[in-house]
Amino acid sequence: MTHATTHSASTANDATLERDLAVLERKLATLVTHTRALRAANETLRRDLAAAYDRNRALTERVTAATARVDALLAKLPEASS
């Protein structure tokens, strides 16, 4: 192999390596972008879930209070005579 042939093969290998690195760089950038988007979506879902738990707790408390009021009212009603 002559010096020119070796240089030519080396240049081709360098060009292939540069293309491969560029492809890898684009894929990595896409992965980073998707990861950031998923983290943001996950944080939003965590906040939404916490809010849903809070609403559920508040509604449960309201149902418990309403049940107690209904039970108190029922206890005040006179017994039905048969």
pLDDT at 54 over 90: yes
What is the per-residue pLDDT for 2?
A: 59
| Cα distance between residue 45 and residue 25, in whole Å | 30
pTM assigned to the model: 0.62
Distance between CA 67 and CA 54 in Å, rounded? 20
Amino acid at position 33, single letter: T
State mean pLDDT over 10-30.
94
Q: What is the pLDDT of residue 5?
A: 62
CB-CB neighbours of 67 under 10 Å: 10
